[in-house]
Chains A and B, each alone.
Chain A
Amino acid sequence: MLINTRGLLPIVLFAAVAFANAQESETVTTSVLAGLAATPEEIAELRAELEISKACSPVAEEEQWQHFIEGSVAKWDRQIMNCAIESGYAVAQRQPDSVEINYAVWSAAIDYFEVLDLLYDPYYKGGDLFMELGWRWEKNIERATVLTEALSKSELDQNSKLVFEALLALTATMQETSSQEQMMAQGQALPKLATAVGADLSVAEGLGAMLLGRVLFQVPAFVGGDPAKAAELLGASIQTNPNLFHSYPWLIDALLVLERRDEANAVLEQSKQVAQDAINPQDYVDFANRMKGMAIRLGIPETETYFFESREKMLAANPQLLPREAKANMGHGGVDPFTGEKLDY
Chain B
Amino acid sequence: VKVTRAISLGVALAFATAGAGSWAKNITVEAGASVQDAVNTAEPGDTILVQPGVYKQSVYIDKPNITLQGLRDGDNWATFDGEGILNDGIIASGHFIVIDGFRVRGYKGNGIMTQGANNFQINNNFVEGAFYGIFPQYGRNGLVQGNTVTGAEDAGIYVGMSDSVDVLDNIAYENVMGLEFENCRDALMANNEVYNNSAGIALTVIPGLPVKDAYNLIIRDNIIRDNNHTNFAPASSIAASVPEGVGLFVVGPDRVTVENNVFENNKSVGVLVLDMLSFGLSTDPEVDPFSDDIRVMSNTWINNGNEPMGLMGMMLMGQSGFEVMASGKERNACVLEQEGVNAAGTQSWGACSADMSVADFATAQLSSPAPTPVYTAEQKGRFTYLAVCTGCHAYDSVLHGPSMQSIQAMYSGKPEALATYAAEPVRKREDFPEMPPQGYLGDETLRAISSYILDDL
Contact = CB atoms under 8 A, between A and B. Distances in A.
Interface in B363-422: 373, 375, 379-380, 382-383, 386-387, 391-392, 394-400
A7 interface: no
Interface string A166-206: 00000000000001100100000000000000000000000
- Among A256, A330, A340, residue most surrounded by chain B Cβ atoms (within 10 Å): A330
Given A33-B131, A122-B282, A330-B282, A227 B237 contact: no
A337 B433 contact: no
A333 B213 CA distance: 12
A333 B235 contact: no
B350 interface: no
B423 to A, nearest CB: 18
B327 A221 contact: yes
A281 to B, nearest CB: 21
Nearest to B375: A338
B108 A30 contact: yes
A214 to B, nearest CB: 10
Interface in A1-55: 15, 17-25, 27, 29-37
A286 to B, nearest CB: 12
A220 to B, nearest CB: 4
Interface in A34-86: 34-37
Contacts of B208: 330, 333
Interface residues of B, number: 85
Interface in A116-143: 121-129
Interface in B222-257: 230-238, 240-244
Contact of A343 (B210, B317, B395, B396): B210
Given A23-B244, A25-B230, A31 B278 contact: no
Contacts of B19: none
Interface in B268-324: 274, 277-290, 310-311, 314-317, 322
Nearest to A25: B232
Given A23-B231, A330-B208, A220 B237 contact: no
Given A222-B322, A222-B344, A227-B328, A121 B399 contact: yes
Interface residues on A, range: 35 or more
A17 B316 CA distance: 11
B283 A183 contact: no
Interface stretch (A94-102, A146-154, A266-274, A289-297): A289-297
B100 to A, nearest CB: 25
B211 interface: yes
Contacts of B240: 22-23, 25
B87 A32 contact: yes
A293 B87 CA distance: 36
B108 A31 contact: yes
- Among B106, B234, B287, residue most surrounded by chain A Cβ atoms (within 10 Å): B234
A337 B210 contact: yes
Contacts of A32: 87, 108-109, 131, 391-392, 400, 436
Contacts of B392: 32
B375 to A, nearest CB: 5
A23 B311 CA distance: 8
Contact of A293 (B109, B138, B286, B290): B286
Given A127-B399, A227-B329, A29 B284 contact: no
A262 interface: no
18 contacts: A17-B315, A19-B242, A25-B230, A27-B230, A31-B130, A33-B153, A127-B397, A127-B398, A220-B345, A221-B326, A221-B345, A225-B278, A225-B328, A290-B285, A296-B285, A335-B210, A337-B386, A345-B185
The 3 closest A-B pairs by CB, nearest first: A293-B285, A221-B328, A18-B280
Interface of B: 84, 87, 106, 108-109, 116, 129-131, 138, 153, 185, 207-212, 230-238, 240-244, 274, 277-290, 310-311, 314-317, 322, 325-329, 331, 344-348, 373, 375, 379-380, 382-383, 386-387, 391-392, 394-400, 431, 433, 436
Interface of A: 15, 17-25, 27, 29-37, 121-129, 179-180, 183, 217-223, 225-227, 249, 253, 256-257, 259, 289-290, 292-294, 296-297, 325-327, 330-331, 333-340, 343, 345
Given A325-B395, A338-B116, 11 more contacts: A20-B238, A23-B244, A30-B129, A31-B153, A121-B397, A124-B236, A129-B397, A220-B325, A256-B290, A259-B331, A343-B211
